[in-house]
Amino acid sequence: MGAAPQQASPDQRVADFRKIFSRAESEVARVIVGHREVVRKTLTALFCGGHVLIEGVPGLGKTLMVKAASEALGLSFKRIQFTPDLMPSDIIGTQVLTESDGHREFQFKPGPIFAHMVLGDEINRATPKTQSAVLEAMEEHQVTVFGTTYVLDPPYIVLATQNPIELEGTYPLPEAQMDRFIFKVVMGSPRPDELREILNRTTGTAQTRIQPLFEPSRAPRAIEDLKALVREVMVAEPLERYIISVIGGCTPGGPGAIPEVSQYLRFGPSPRGAQALILCAKVNALLAGRVSVSYDDIDDAIVPCLRHRLLLNFQAEAESVSSESILEQVIKRLKKPRT
């Protein structure tokens, strides 16, 4: 991608966005078989400036996927394996005593959170204290150690994984932290043909190398420009009202809430959910070659953006009602405003 995006024409910028996104997907697909939707959502979250919660059993290639994406985009990558004895300083970093020119001084040693793409593996195994240490970094894109604030270099994205099994000895993420993830994507098991392809690629001698789209020095700037382009996508007032009605429809007792919502939910999505919906819909519009959001773009974003923001009640769990099924009902029943 040659020309500096800010100097290019709007049409060129839109075209570049689609091209970069498509090539990033292709590069990741060279090492990750299947999971195209997960890859797409991960890249979408990156361009939206959000974080992703990935849920799936071990061995599906979560770490490999994130690593491949960072390599393709030329971004730095760090991985944190969350364990019960992991301390916040292990993530954020700490002051270490150093000696230079005869002087001893404390020097900040950044933790693994200082990277463009951070993979928090099995985040629910860490204690709430450690989990909350990630909160500030995720939301504010900065950390504070001994009164000194350190800004995290943009772009910054945290991809946390959760294992849906082996829940013993885990600390489920609090709702406040769940809300900070723009998406929750579920990685399913590969299909037989995909599994065969995985075996071919990983057990042979062939080495797959990813071609970075940007040089590491230019990558952050290029990604930030693309993020700015996403925010320039326009949304009509009726569509904004639709998003508001979706949020209201998913909130128990909210305006336009369907009966299932009132029956099975304790809490609905927060305004962050609406922000996530709009940003994701904007990326979808750009990927479709449009500079304005459509209803389909919004509908496509509803489930990944809101599924982890709905707090099911006991009745829903007893009846095995999922948040996805409730969201699908909401999409089906809500009327799309014309004006």
339 is a site residue for another protein (CB under 8 A): yes
Is 129 within 8 Å of 85 (Cβ atoms)? Answer: no
Cβ-proximal residues to 202 (8 Å cutoff; 6+ apart), any chain:
none
Minimal distance in Å, beta carbon 223 to another protein? 19
Identify residue 118 by its one-letter amino acid code.
V
End-to-end CA distance of the chain: 40
Q: Which is nearer to another protein, 199 or 234 (CB)?
A: 234
57 is a site residue for another protein (CB under 8 A): no
331 is a site residue for another protein (CB under 8 A): no
Tokens of 71: 């390599």
Q: CA 50, CA 43: separation in Å to the nearest integer? A: 10
Pick the binder of another protein from 108, 171, 267, 295 (CB under 8 A): 295
The closest alpha carbon to 73, from 114, 36, 32, 116, belongs to 116
Tokens of 324: 């996805």
Minimal distance in Å, beta carbon 306 to another protein? 21
Helix residue ranges per DSSP H, 32-119: 36-48, 62-73, 88-92
Pick the binder of another protein from 3, 4, 10, 255 (CB under 8 A): 10
Pick the binder of another protein from 105, 153, 166, 296 (CB under 8 A): 296
Neighbours of 80 (CB within 10 A): 23
Q: Which is nearer to another protein, 14 or 316 (CB)?
A: 14
Is 149 within 8 Å of 143 (Cβ atoms)? Answer: yes
Q: Which is nearer to another protein, 4 or 234 (CB)?
A: 234
14 is a site residue for another protein (CB under 8 A): yes
Chain positions 237 to 256 lying near another protein, rule: CB under 8 A, are 237-239
Minimal distance in Å, beta carbon 337 to another protein? 9
**Per-residue mark of binding to another protein, 220-239 (x: CB under 8 A):** ---------x--xxxxxxxx
Q: CA 26, CA 151: separation in Å to the nearest integer? A: 32
3 is a site residue for another protein (CB under 8 A): no
Minimal distance in Å, beta carbon 62 to another protein? 33
Query: Taking contact as CB under 8 A, which single stretch among the options 23-31, 155-163, 182-190, 289-297 is the one that binds another protein?
Result: 289-297
Query: Taking contact as CB under 8 A, which single stretch among the options 10-18, 110-118, 124-132, 243-251 is the one that binds another protein?
Result: 10-18
The overall longest dimension of the chain from CA atoms, in Å, is 73
Q: CA 21, CA 165: separation in Å to the nearest integer? A: 33
291 is a site residue for another protein (CB under 8 A): yes
Q: CA 327, CA 276: separation in Å to the nearest integer? A: 15
178 is a site residue for another protein (CB under 8 A): no
Footprint of another protein (CB under 8 A): 10-11, 14, 229, 232-239, 288, 290-297, 338-339
